[in-house]
Amino acid sequence: MSEEVSAPISVTPPAGSTRLSWRTGLAEYGPPALLVIGLLLVWEGLVWYWAVPAWLLPAPSQIALTFVTSLPVLAEHTMATLTVTIPGFALALAAGFGLGVALDASPLLRRAVYPLLVTSQTVPIVAIAPLLVVGFGFGLLPKVLVVALITFFPIVVNTIDGLQSADRDQRRLLEAMGANYWQLLRLLRLRAALPAIFTGIKVAITYSVIGAVLAEWIGASAGLGVYIARSLRAFRTDQVFVAALVTSLLTIVLFTLVSLLERWIVFWKGER
């Protein structure tokens, strides 16, 4: 008896799907792009019409020219800022996650420490940073600590909230089967907490670049904060705008990388 072998069926996407994706992208990103372009044109026109001095408000065209001509210097300062940002964020991630798990594991510790965590956020970091510089010198450590102090709070809070969001019925089932705290954490609660933890990480990564720039402003020999301080003293407002633009782009890149990592690790989030 002969067997019939069916030929593979190739499924091609409809011809209009690509066109639809382009329309969706234009509908989503077109309006803000047009708004930004319009604001830049108005800015350029007003600076030219009123002959505003460059030290007071440079035109967008001058800022773009400064950006292009300063790329080698900007690359050096950007790498110096990343050297502060990445270790500081990594320290905040480790300390924030560890403290969040510890506070979740001990209700007594949570009641004692959590109010102090909230109170710590009311202390201006500009008052603490000079003390760190005095205590640890002008090396890398005080700047890393400044970034960590700025960024660890959202990680702690979202870790605690995420661990509390696990399904109660599943938790009771595992507890009835004799699971202890760490087994509950490994089998159920950590997976349920990952979306909230990544929310805190995304908030923290946006603060980390600003924290690094602030730390460099107070005491450093290189970095975007140093570049901004030197530009202000030289009345080079165009360079200040360029540094602000690079800081924003660096923050967007880091935020995008964390979002891609979240999409890879928390792959079930979009299925709900």
Exposure of 113 in the CB half-sphere (CA atoms within 13 A): 17
Q: Which H helix or E strand runs over 149?
A: helix 140-163
For residue 92, give Cα distances in angstroms to 120, 144, 217, 259, 261: 15, 9, 20, 18, 18
- The CATH number corresponding to 54-266 among 2.60.120.380, 3.30.1120.80, 3.40.190.290, 1.10.3720.10 equals 1.10.3720.10
C-alpha torsion sign, points 155, 197, 83, 211:
negative
| Reported confidence tier of residue 2, pLDDT bands at 50, 70, 90 | very low
- In the prediction, which pLDDT does 62 show? 94
How many whole angstroms separate alpha carbon 214 and alpha carbon 126? 8
Domain boundaries, the chain: 23-52, 54-266
CB proximity list for 38: less than 8 A, separation 6 or greater: none
Q: Which two tokens stand for residue 251?
A: 């923050």
- In the prediction, which pLDDT does 5 show? 46
pLDDT digits (tens, 9 = 90+) for 25-69: 677 777 888 898 999 999 999 999 899 998 999 999 999 999 999
How many whole angstroms separate alpha carbon 212 and alpha carbon 207? 9
pTM of the model: 0.84
Please state, as a whole number, how many other Cβ atoms lie within 10 Å of the Cβ of residue 111: 10
